[in-house]
């Protein structure tokens, strides 16, 4: 499906079928999307989801991670990480990559290296494409696969975390309090950060602030930012609520009510709040465009905040965005090359309009 520019994003045993003649078929493209689609994708199966998929950032290497987890389970009979959804999320993101030879000693070092590289936390350390991974697996029989250099690997299976006899454990009551604290702090952060961003925008020169961003509209802009942040958290609700809930019931009670998991959930809320507050930074963006146009010798339109003026202001942002997509989506495939060419042409057109439009007004 990668050759067609499609990401599957839910590779797991239930979605892999073996035909009578030994062929392999991938099924259930329910959450699949085009590789060029920048829409955040949070759905998936925690046992096999790469850490970046929880943040909605996916590409071909995300499927490679899932294939690595699937191969690990095929070789050992167990997924690389087990436990609650929250513990799996943290393990996929932070834990050292487990060596399949711990559970299956007969696995060759070369094959273990392939699996562990496919499951690398950093996408840049994984195979760049399925073709590269296939070539590495083909080379396993020849014994020429380089060992995967990872952080200190696990030499023993990950034990299930249980509380020592007599020590306090997480109960329904303590978990309810953890949820309450996590939600309260997250709500405070989501309410506070847009206000701070709005205050910073007030220091921008008045000529670079549209009338709709005057102090009379403070409440409207704050509500817009909070709405965007809330929508973002709802899209990631499974990961968010898994984090702010803290450890599962029966686990050792953390020393602090707001442990690492809850703090990670609050950071997720802070990120959502900053995303919601981005439109408030428009005056500072106008300042940056004004400085750029002055340095380039381009005069600014008189009616800066008319429909055409705003479109002109957004041309640099469009050019930069399309240029970055050209670089990040470039692949040695005809379809990807055509898309990258279209992105590059769009970036060039946006840059051209930025320079030509003021000249047309003179």
Q: Supply 191's token pair.
A: 């309410």
Query: CA angle at residue 190 from 317 to 230, to 5 degrees?
Result: 75
The residue among 153, 154, 161, 122 whose CA lies nearest residue 246 is 161
10, 59, 63, 99: the active-site residue: 10
189, 270 in Cβ contact below 8 A? Answer: yes
Known catalytic residue at 10: yes
Strands 6-7 and 33-34: antiparallel
Instruction: Return the bridge partners of 252, or none.
Output: 169
- Dist. CA 117–CA 153, nearest whole Å: 12
SS3 category, 346: helix
Helix residue spans in 249-304 (DSSP H): 260-277, 282-296
> How does DSSP classify residue 169?
B
Q: Supply 107's token pair.
A: 């696995």
Indicate which residues carry an active-site annotation.
10
């Amino acid at each position: 499906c990668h050759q067609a520019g499609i990401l599957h994003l839910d590779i797991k045993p239930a979605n892999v079928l073996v035909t009578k003649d030994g062929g392999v078929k991938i099924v259930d493209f329910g959450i699949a999307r085009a590789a060029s689609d920048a829409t955040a994708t949070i759905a998936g199966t925690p046992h096999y989801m790469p850490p970046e998929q929880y943040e909605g950032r996916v590409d071909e290497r995300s499927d490679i991670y899932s294939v690595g987890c699937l191969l690990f389970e095929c070789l050992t009979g167990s997924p690389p990480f087990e436990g609650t959804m929250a513990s799996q999320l943290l393990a996929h993101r932070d834990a050292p990559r487990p060596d399949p030879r711990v559970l299956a000693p007969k696995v060759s070092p070369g094959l273990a290296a392939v699996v562990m590289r496919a499951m690398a936390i950093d996408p840049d350390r994984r195979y760049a494409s399925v073709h590269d991974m296939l070539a590495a697996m083909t080379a396993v029989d020849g014994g020429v696969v380089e060992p995967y250099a990872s952080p200190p690997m696990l030499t023993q299976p990950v034990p299930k975390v249980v509380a020592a006899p007599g020590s306090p454990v997480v109960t329904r009551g303590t978990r309810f309090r953890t949820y309450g604290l996590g939600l309260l702090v997250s709500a405070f952060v989501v309410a506070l950060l847009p206000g701070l961003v709005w205050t910073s925008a007030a220091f921008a020169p008045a000529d670079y602030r549209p009338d709709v961003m005057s102090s009379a509209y403070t409440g409207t802009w704050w509500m817009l930012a909070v709405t965007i942040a809330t929508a973002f958290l709802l899209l990631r609700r499974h990961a968010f609520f898994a984090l702010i809930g803290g450890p599962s019931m029966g686990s050792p009670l953390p020393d602090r009510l707001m442990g690492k998991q809850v703090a990670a959930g609050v950071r997720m809320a802070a990120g959502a709040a900053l995303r919601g507050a981005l439109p408030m930074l428009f005056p500072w963006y106008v300042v940056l465009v004004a400085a750029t146009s002055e340095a380039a010798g381009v005069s600014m339109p008189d009616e800066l905040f008319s429909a055409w003026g705003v479109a002109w202001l957004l041309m640099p942002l469009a050019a930069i965005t399309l240029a970055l997509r050209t670089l990040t989506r470039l692949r040695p495939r005809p379809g990807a090359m055509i898309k990258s060419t279209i992105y590059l042409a769009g970036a060039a057109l946006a840059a051209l309009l930025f320079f030509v439009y003021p000249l047309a007004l003179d």
